[in-house]
Amino acid sequence: MEADMELPFHFQVASPKVKLSFHICVDSHLIESGLSLVDQLNPWIVPVVLGTKPKLSKGHSAIELDEDRILVIKGNTNSDDTFWFLEVNTPFVREHKIRLGTEVVSWSKGVIGKGLKPIVISGPSGVGKGTLISKLMQEFPSMFGFSVSHTTRAPRKNEQNGAHYHFTERHVMEKDIEDGKFLEFAVVHGNLYGTSVEAVEAVADKGKRCILDIDVQGARSVRSTSLEAIFIFICPPSFDELEKRLRARATETEEQIQKRHRNAKAELEQGKSSGLFDHILVNDDLGACYEKLKDLLGLTHGVNHPEESVLESFHVPLEHKVLKIDRKILINCGISEGEKPAVNMFVLDLASMKGGAPGRTRGLNLYQTDELTP
């Protein structure tokens, strides 16, 4: 496809009265807005576009997938930036249509490979979550990455922005929440705390397993999303021990300590009785609790990374053809150059596709083929 051309794509969504008129205008390697909805009552509706908008090269393909999303394949670009999804009727999009009171679409970047499940660790303040996570990351630095949360509270002594938290203004964080940029958020002790989608995805993009240190409210929010994770709740041996640990911090007033103590009781009741968490660990002895945590994650007898057949390096040229057969996309890249020219084709298998907006779309499998059908 030549530069500066418009690709029209009409897509029938769930309602028979509504069509999505999908236009990508390529100009200087950028997607122009070009998204509009068509219905019988209001011929042209410009939807709210969520997610990071992809940059396109001079060639691309668009393929209708079911009734909820469109696959965009970029030509002549890096391997990790080739596949993108425009979601038009997924659960995330429908939720934000209701929340915002208007039409919504969302971009999601496609990622080759399944990746390991993130780990959600929750528990009342002072229970030792941070210490357990630090020990895990120190022993297995190449395997785990820490999701850095956002908060509107003021930094404590020695806390660094971007390392301990992303410290931000309340109005900025509220706007980002409205735009769907947060996986979870909650008001804790009068301040907003939240985990951005990008904070989690950035860890996974590095090939690491993301650890989320969030409260019970946040864990419940994450559980309701498309993110597949392991949920672990850490609790103290007693309330007296928890209060002792809070006072040992020497960073809070008596009123703040009592408030955290009251909140801890509520969190413990929710954490133990709701069925929200897959595992519950009692941190009566830090060393013993840490060994139990490693055992739950399969780390006691050494780290075993499952082998995954992933085509790490590939190139879709400017000129290419695509064919959809069930949950597979045949990408014909033409004749490869060399001493023995051959048909250069890939199969993008979507059978294990998972995730999606507000995060990445993972579980894509790509392999080469010399057959005309996948």
Residues in the chain: 374
Catalytic residue, chosen from 99, 170, 247, 249, is 249
What is the C-alpha separation between 238 and 217, in angstroms, rounded?
A: 22
Phi, then psi, of 82 in degrees rounded to 5: -90, -40
Q: How far apart are CA 306 and CA 311, in angstroms?
A: 16
- Omega of the bond leading into 358 within 30 degrees of 0 (cis): yes
What are the residues whose beta carbons fall under 8 Å from the beta carbon of 182, sequence distance 6 or more?
150, 173, 176, 194, 195, 196, 197, 358
The single residue of 99, 156, 170, 262 carrying the catalytic annotation is 156
One of 209, 260, 360, 362 is an active-site residue; which one? 260
What's the Rg (C-alpha) of the chain? 24
∠ CA 114-347-68 to the nearest 5 degrees?
Answer: 65
334: Cβ contacts below 8 Å, ≥ 6 apart:
317, 319, 320, 343, 344
DSSP 149: P
Helical ranges in 51-128 per DSSP H: 91-100
Tokens of 219: 């864990």
Both structure tokens of 349: 């298998």
Contacts of 121 (CB under 8 A, 6+ apart): 129, 132, 133, 211, 212, 213, 214, 232, 234
- Active-site annotation holds for 260: yes
**DSSP-derived secondary structure for 276-322:** --SEEEE-SSHHHHHHHHHHHTT-TT---PPP----------SS-EE
* Helices and strands in the chain: count of H runs, count of E runs: 8, 23
Residues 6+ apart with CB under 8 A from 134: none
Active site residues: 156, 249, 260
